[in-house]
Amino acid sequence: MGITLQNINKSFKNFNALKNINFSIKQGELVALLGPSGCGKTTLLRIIAGLETASSGKIYFTDTDVTPLSAKQRDIGFVFQNYALFRHMNVAENVAFGLKMKPRSIRLSKTAINERVNQLLGLVQLENFAKRYPDQLSGGQRQRVALARALASKPNVLLLDEPFSALDAKVRKDLRRWLRDFHHELNVTSIFVTHDQDEALEVADKIILMNQGQIEQIGTPTEVYKQPKTAFVAHFLGDVNLLHGYIENNTLIIGDFQKDMQAQGNWADQSAIAYVRPHEISIAKTARKNDIQGQVVRIHTAGPTVFLEIAVAGQPKHIDVSVSYRQYEQQHVEIGDHIYFQPILINIFVQDQL
């Protein structure tokens, strides 16, 4: 089931929490709603679920206008951050709960419910935990039970609100991978809220990046990471170096480095800041054509990656360059060395956009 949002706005008294939200999600996509705390992610998810009403705008599930429908009528599976399992019921009873509560006329038989529960517990790899109570499970296991329960009645859409944020780092990482594989198997249109960039980049087919109640950018993880449309997106999705320079005759100039920017449009002559991811910089110990020159002031090793902090004349901050440990050893880089580098992949944001 595809989902389309048209001009969704939400105000709480005088505060506009969501401003003109528009997007479409395809059947079977796994989408991350990503953004900093307070940007409106949860409010938007609750509006899609029918737990909150929009001040204006429309929501379609495929071609059906579901705006006036209640949460129940929308046929949605919901997973919250804090498990929300019934403590006095065992795992199987928790998963079966929604199925047993259905009106008699559409309720499955007892045998069919048992079969469905077993199938779901297999899906979330908890077959041997059916008789355990929530208190006897780890956080990650509880969240998998919550997922099985949300999927019990075969919803059209699965919504997850920060599903892993209460878990420790290692379990979170495992569950991310698991969710991705699990989603491929299931193919149910799913939206999960997160404020964790890595989680969104690793898990989602598509990221909707929000800031202050608005959408900043929508795209695949690669698109939003490599081609951020705004300085906010570039910063939010990972480390960036800001190289200060200017544009003249459609050419970006940073010290001795020059790059024709016409492929990215027509530029007025103005000062500009180039955004470059640390690993999108190529370094050498001897000068090449078009290199920027600097001096290594610090070296931090972080496992297989080494960060070189480089001071460059005319730049207000040191530039971080990440290289593989192998390259670092081969080049014999030491503090105080003169080094030459140039950016490989650049995004430019002219100063009046900052």
What does the alpha-carbon distance between residue 167 and residue 177 come to, in Å, rounded to a whole number?
14
Whether 10 contacts 43, CB under 8 Å: yes
Residues within window 43-72 making contact with ligand ATP, judged by CB under 6 A: 43
Give yes or no for residue 19 binding ligand ATP (CB under 6 A).
no
CB of 157 to ligand ATP, least distance (A): 18
Instruction: Tell me the window of 24-32, 38-46, 281-289, 297-305 that interacts with ligand ATP (CB under 6 A).
Output: 38-46
User: Looking at beta carbons only, is 37 or 105 nearer to ligand ATP?
Assistant: 37
Give yes or no for residue 39 binding ligand ATP (CB under 6 A).
yes
Give yes or no for residue 40 binding ligand ATP (CB under 6 A).
yes
Give yes or no for residue 35 binding ligand ATP (CB under 6 A).
yes
User: Looking at beta carbons only, is 213 or 294 nearer to ligand ATP?
Assistant: 213
In three-state secondary structure terms, 85 is coil
Whether 213 contacts 226, CB under 8 Å: no
Q: Please identify which residue in 41, 116, 206, 277 interacts with ligand ATP, judged by CB under 6 A.
A: 41
The sign of the CA dihedral 258, 262, 263, 267 is positive
Whether 269 contacts 249, CB under 8 Å: yes
What letter does residue 101 receive in the DSSP assignment? T
Whether 350 contacts 266, CB under 8 Å: no
CB burial of residue 168 (10 Å; 0-12, 13-18, 19+): exposed
* DSSP β-bridge partners for residue 253: 246, 258
Q: Please identify which residue in 19, 132, 195, 279 interacts with ligand ATP, judged by CB under 6 A.
A: 195
Give yes or no for residue 12 binding ligand ATP (CB under 6 A).
yes
- The amino acid at 329: E
CB of 13 to ligand ATP, least distance (A): 7
Instruction: Tell me the window of 33-41, 235-243, 244-252, 263-271 that interacts with ligand ATP (CB under 6 A).
Output: 33-41
Whether 164 contacts 143, CB under 8 Å: yes
Instruction: Tell me the window of 12-20, 167-175, 196-204, 238-246 that interacts with ligand ATP (CB under 6 A).
Output: 12-20
Name the one residue in this structure whose structure tokens are 């960060």: 307
CB of 40 to ligand ATP, least distance (A): 4
Q: Please identify which residue in 1, 17, 59, 151 interacts with ligand ATP, judged by CB under 6 A.
A: 17
Binding residues for ligand ATP (CB under 6 A): 12, 15, 17, 35, 37-43, 195
